[in-house]
Structure 1
Amino acid sequence: MRYIFFFLVLLTAQQGMCQESLSQLVDQYAKENNFSGVVLVATDGKVDILKAVGLADRETDKAMQTDSKFRIASMTKVFTAVLTMKLVDEGKLVLDKPISAYLPEYVGEGKDKVTLHHLLTYSSGIENTAEPLGMKPYQTLLSLDEYISRFCSGPLVFVPGSESRYGNTEYILLQKIIEKVSGRSFEENLTAHILGPLQLRNTGMYTGKNPPKNEVTSYTLKDSLKTLTRDEPYLPEMYFGAGGMYSTAEDLLAFDQGLFGEKLLSPQSTKQLLTFHPDLGYSAYGLWGSDGWGTFSEKFYYRTGGILGSTSNWIHTLDSKKTILILSNTNQTNLFGLSEELYLLGTKEETLLNSGSIK
């Protein structure tokens, strides 16, 4: 018993040293790279570090908190992909069927040529008519049908499935398909299949009339002026199922564990969602995959998010079972670079800990 006690004491001390190293790295990024936000690193779902630095609101000097809510932008697409595959599980959607099978009223050229698989992998070829207009499409309140008619029903600019060009068009169309086939709103599907089962109480679809409490204010670095300014006004809900959600770091960890732990979908649908396609930019459904890149020496998945100053980065590694979540309210910091350093430091410390070299 004495040896077990001393081992546990030593293990606790070593884990504390690892946490301190990660904390120091975050502080360094705050000081040298102007990072402001929340960082969460976990191993096999267990939190190694959860740390908030910087200001949630620069006008009031409100400090960032670990439960601060962020606009997660395109991280929303993973939730949309899960809801799509949930309907596949239920036999209500088939991935190789075209848009017209579910939205016969759709008038775009890709109606009978673009499949759900094409939508999920950004390989539809549907012209992204919103992108050249900057923020304008997101500054006028439109219904989902109005938005699709105006921005998601253009001609095909390449053969569906021949390549992948990232954009929001596909995932906005997926929201419409989810709602049409299920007979329920996107929010109702989200609550029933993800938020409720995982008890994500700080996550949801953004609405301007009822913004979430404890939401951070986001700021954009203007290169020409070299100063941070509050994000120009826009309506986050106009990003729909492509980018209209908010969340916290801890809720996103629970979602990460639910997805990769096969708690949300059948094993078959989880595998389909996580299969990445090298011929389509290594796109999975809502995520991207890699067999190893940069400092990541193992297979991993990643998802970024960014609308003006609302930026985020999510990494999940398969062998070491690391989850790295970074949420920021400015566009000043290279979040993938910070993710790489957190991974390198965390795996190095863990290797030393397991080998008994940390004493």
Structure 2
Amino acid sequence: MQVYKDGKPVYTKQTNKEFTLKTQAPIGSASSWLTAALVMTFVKEGKISLDDPIAKYIPIFEAYSKRYITIRNCLAHTTGIKADAPTAKGMTKSRFSSLEEEVISYAKREIEKNPGQMVFFSEVGPNIAGRICEVVGKKAFDRLMQERILRPLKMRGTNFYIDYSQAMNPFGGAVSTAIDLGNFLTMMLNQGRFETKEVLTPELIAEMQKIQTGNAPVKYMPKLAQGLDFGFGLWVLEKDSKGKATAVASPGIFGAWPMIDYCRGYAAFLLPKSMLGEQRSELYISIREAVNGQFQCKSE
């Protein structure tokens, strides 16, 4: 575990001497936070809009009567496309040989609800968004991620290409390191800036942390996130009187738990070597309470 304040680590707890700050570990669905950031780089450049229909970039969705689904729906898990709950095996194994092939299969699936009318946390939306990045950027997803997010943030130990014979998994396929997650969280905490680089703008960071699901009923959400509101790749842990997020997190199925507390001005993460599981949610809560006790909220 590590805690960052003012861009520097102020606390590090290492329980396994062989599991260092540079050791790679799968981060599960926390990968979708990175994917959401990648999408926002294209929004920053004006190459896509969050409210563009996905059929604008992947026409087969219109052919299967899914023309009203937007990129926003994809990042918010409100596409309405029939999906299964994510599993640890599904994060690292795919029966498809490419992201393009996998996304085409989504187009052929049944629609359970109209876009925006149901929340189902799954790989479907983020993977569609990742494929749109490929179409617009004219490069493979992993290369775009390297050029736009990982390289600018010096995340040298992070990648999505666990097995090149299978489709990339923008939703849950990343492996990362403690150092790399610290850099990403520092960028988010600093409103899109990392060292001298502007990766995202404060407006785009705010959009990612805005509650995106409205009053849509939840059909599936991991136990750890039940009762929380969802943004883009993250859950809102706390918000102020105006509804603005003041603390966010993106827990992954393998136990990775990156979070940011804007009110107290720190970022923290837990990166386990082995899967913790949803039954360990009380661990995250107790850790966060302990860290919160070390920093005063700016509004207090």
Q: TM-score, normalised by structure 2?
A: 0.81
The answer as to 2:259 corresponding to 1:320 is: no
Task: Report how far residue 343 of structure 1 moved.
Answer: 2.9
Q: What is the CA–CA distance in structure 2 between the aligned matches of 1:343 and 1:330, rounded to whole Å? A: 20
Contact 1:98 1:114 in 2 (8 A): yes
| Cross-structure match for 1:122 | 77
The question of 1:272 aligning with 2:217 is answered no
For the aligned residue pairs, the C-alpha RMSD in angstroms reads: 2.9
Which consecutive unaligned segments of at least 5 residues does structure 2 have? 194-198, 217-227, 240-244
- Correspondences of 1:95-174 after superposition (within 5 Å): 95-106=50-61, 109=64, 111-128=66-83, 135=90, 138=93, 140=95, 142-151=97-106, 153-174=108-129
Q: Distance in 2 between matches of 1:205 and 1:336?
A: 26
Q: Deviations over 1:267-311 (max 9, x none)?
A: 22222112123535611111111326xxxxx931010111xxx32
Which of 60, 84, 91 is matched with 2:39 structurally? 84
Q: Is the Cα–Cα contact under 8 Å of residues 86 and 265 in structure 1 kept in the other structure?
A: yes
CA contact (8 A) 1:124 1:160 kept: yes
> Deviation of residue 350 (structure 1)?
4.5
- Flag the structure with higher helix content: 1
| Offset, 1:194 | 1.1
Q: Which residue of 1 aligns with 2:22?
A: 67
Which residue of 2 is the match for residue 21 of structure 1? none
With over 3 angstroms needed to count, the CA separation of the structure-2 counterparts of 1:284 and 1:69, relative to structure 1, is same
Equivalent pair of 1:312/1:335 in contact (CA under 8 Å): no
Match of 2:9 among 47, 54, 73: 47
- Equivalent pairs: percent with the same residue? 22
Distance in 2 of aligned mates of 1:101 and 1:150: 17
Q: Does 1:247 align with 2:176?
A: yes
Rounded to whole Å, the distance in 1 between the matches of 2:237 and 2:8 is 23
Q: Which runs of 5+ in 1 are unaligned?
A: 1-38, 56-62, 210-234, 293-297, 352-359
Is the 1:128–1:169 contact (alpha carbons within 8 Å) kept by the matching residues of 2? yes
**Residue 238 of structure 2 corresponds to residue 283 of structure 1:** no
| Deviation at residue 241 of structure 1 after TM alignment | 0.7
Deviations 1:100-136 (A, max 9, x none): 111113367453110111111000101115869x759
| TM-score normalised by length of structure 1 | 0.68
Distance 2:172 2:57 in 1: 22
Give the Cα separation in 1 of the matches to 2:289 and 2:86: 35
2:258 corresponds to 1:329: no
Match of 2:170, SS? helix
| Higher gyration radius (CA) | 1
* Contact 1:129-1:151 at 8 Å conserved across structures: no
| Equivalent in the alignment of 1:341 | 286
